[in-house]
Chain A
């Protein structure tokens, strides 16, 4: 029950933060490249790495990790965006989007983890 509450509260703010970020970015950059989704996914990967590396305990992990970062980042929009690019035959943009998302997602998680472990090690 308590665990669910933490995940729910995190999910509430994570979803709103993602929506605001993507609206904000869409209002500034007009491009076929899905900058909004890329931004939240990379930032979220970094911050989740930071939370895991810092080992701040189960409650913090459920609230900020599973709840907030889980909802802040998204996989479904990432893939539907990619499918759209494939249908429009934007192969170069698609390749860049997939490559940057996976490579830098894992790299940023590593950087976050290292910094988190260093601060709270």
Chain B
């Protein structure tokens, strides 16, 4: 059953990624792969918030945790496209853009996951007041 839930959440995650990618692509025409970067950033914020939030609730249903975290957000964000896009930039000789893309993914992704975590913390503080 959990496999089916992960699969269905994976369908939604992949479709959201695909549609959001097309939407961003319709107004972004430069060779920098902005679609994947923004999608991955968004997923990092949400998972950075969701992981500690789900863990902070006692008896949080594991099918929601696995379904939303692993299934939906896991499938929404992608690493293979990042690798392939960086390779394509290098093959075109766009080394500067490739290096910029790697650095923005590396540090930006960490920052976004941290922002998500801070968002969770912030909520905890306001609740205590």
Contacts and interface: CB of A to CB of B under 8 A. Distances in A.
B83 to A, nearest CB: 4
B15 A105 contact: no
Interface of B: 2-3, 6-15, 17-19, 40, 43-44, 46-48, 51, 66, 69-71, 73-84, 86-88, 90, 102, 105-106, 109-110, 112-114, 117
10 contacts: A11-B11, A11-B15, A12-B7, A19-B3, A19-B66, A41-B83, A77-B70, A78-B79, A78-B109, A109-B86
Interface of B is mostly: helix
A25 interface: no
A80 B17 contact: no
Interface in A6-44: 7-16, 18-20, 22, 41, 44
A59 to B, nearest CB: 14
B77 A15 contact: no
B109 A79 contact: yes
Contacts of B76: 76
Name the interface size band of chain A: 35 or more
